[in-house]
Structure 1
Amino acid sequence: MTEVMRNGPGAVLLPPLNLKSKKSNRTRSGSANSQQGVSAALRILDPVRKKLATVETQRIVACLDETIRRHELLAILPTILMQLPRFSVSLGAELCEAIQIHKENCSVYDEVVKHSKDSFKLENLRQELTRSCKNVMRQFALNPAIATALRNELIHETSKQYISENDAKIIDGLKEMRAIMLELLLTTPAEESDRAAYLEQVSSREKKNLANIDELQAQLDKALEDKEQETSKKTEIIRRLKNDLFQIEQFSEEHIRRTKTEADKQQTSDSRNSEAKQSKLKSEVTQVEDEMTRMLQENREVEQTLRKKKYKIETEVENWIQKYDTDMDDKQTEYEKIDKVYTEEKKQLSELEEKFKVLEEEYSKIMEERRIAKEKREQEERELKANIKAAVTIQAYFRAYKVRKALKNKSKKKKGKSSKKKK
């Protein structure tokens, strides 16, 4: 209904306008006011009655509600099949059995679809799957509290998505259809006639608005023409500025040429000064080369001394290596003797370990028998303590009983004496 009002016949589409900030603020405020007016107008079209008056209309809405509930149960059924142990306690034995049968039918159907193309067999399996699904729905109908709890837990009271997108679209469509049907059932014939009259008024207002839009369009065209004239003026100004810029570029080229001439003169004078510096540096290089020759001679003498020292050290290292080899041979002989002794002792150790295993088994048996005997003694002691406690309790109750009985008899005797005295 809103779309008809907004996009009715003869609607005019205007091009977007680039307005300034002040105009945009005015547009926002105007759009907000228009939205408030539209919402107020739509509230006028709402039906006056808020409840259904007849049994037939209530049954229609109840049928739609039941359809929505069943679609929600069918949407969460795959989640229940995957997490059946989680819901088994709350579902009950019969409902769990029906869901388990439906799960097995689903598995069989998936296997047949993957590996077989027999249409007759697939049709039978589809019918069997339909019957098991209907049976599950019947069990949910017998347990409405469980169905409501599952729907609330998996759909309404959680942010996690437990249903597919297609199922959600179907459920939203059914809810939308229910709202539309409820609005139709709540609307009376008088309200229908009032609504038609109101829509006629809105149509006349729309025609007036279209006339205003045409007038505003003419104003806009005039504003655009003025803007084009202003743009042509600015283009002429830009052309003049470009000419001025060209003249400035010509002047800058002349200035660059002069600067380049002065730079060449400066380069000539710098080259003359560099020749004098080169001669001075050559004399310094000669002095450095003489110094380097002297230092090379000194370094050769130092190198000869170091070579002699190196030869001496290498000789000492060779002697130490020979000594190390001799010591290692002796150590190897000693290691072989120790290894032989170790092997014999290891053999003896294995024999002792075998004997120890037998003794350990006997020790374990003895310790187990002692543990059992100890537990038996402790059990007997606990039973004895319990019997003693029970006997003490019984004796205490019996003594209390005797005391109360004695006191009661004593009070009776006193009453008897007092009655005799009165007589």
Structure 2
Amino acid sequence: MRDSLGVDVTQLLDEHVALERQYVAVTATPEGCLGGTLPDLETADDELRHSTRVVCRLLREAPGIVTQLQAARATEAGGGEAIVSETMSRFLSALHALQEQAGARLSTTVEEDKEGRETFEEVKARDEKAGQQVKQLQKELRAERASREADVSSRDAVLRKLRATLDTITNTAADEVKAIEAEGKAQEQADHATGAEREAALRAELAGLKGELGSRRKEHRESEEALRKKKARCEGEVEQWIAKYDAEVGERYEELKALKAIYAEETAQLAELEAHFARLAAEREAELEAERRVAEELARQQAQERALHDGAARIQAVFRGKTERRLLEKRKAGKGGKGKKK
């Protein structure tokens, strides 16, 4: 497989798989227990995102690599000899899942894609908020742990100082006892009371120091126990937030499915109503067209009737005019004849 794809491509894919394993290890390990070998979650996430973009650009620029990887996967799935490693097989599975996701993305409508994006943005916002709360709790836990360690170190220093003081006092008391014994038996009776008082005071002081040491040890244990309980409580709260987040995501998913079903039903009803109103509009258009034709025919008939009426009126006017002129001419002719006879 390395010979067919090339050393550079294989090395790039191996590095991407290594970053995926690193991200899984970081997310599966408590933040306080990462140690010096693993980066923090933000760094691991940024490195994995960058590597994913680089691999996608490589596959886009060289489509033949995808064909070779698919052929290799088909050979292994068909029972042939495995020519890809377990790491490469996992990468091919992830690549196939990405292809299916891209296909599903292309098959969705604009409304479904917009609705899915809005839902994803809401879930992403809640996830980021929960992540910020987790980071804040982890930050508080680290601060509390650092404060506890500083307190323990300070108290250990005080304890060492008290032990040194106790050793000094013990050695001083022993030296004083030896000096008193060396002075002689003559001073023994007189100094016995002073020595006894001094020893009692020292013993009392020693008992007090031991009591203080015991009380401070007890305080240390109580403080450590309180910190342990606080840590367990913080971890329980984080688990509750995660469980609450999972429950909310499940509820939103069910709501999304129900809304999609309602949307599909309403879309079907809308299509039926649009078809019904289209039929009604066509029928109304046909009725209006028939009424328009009737109105046009009526207007034509009325126009013809008006034309006939106007023509008859003109003919009558002409006829009356001629009749009047003839009568007028006859009257003029009659008057002229009477004058000549005179």
TM range (shorter): under 0.3
When the two structures are superposed, what TM-score results if normalisation uses the length of structure 1?
0.22
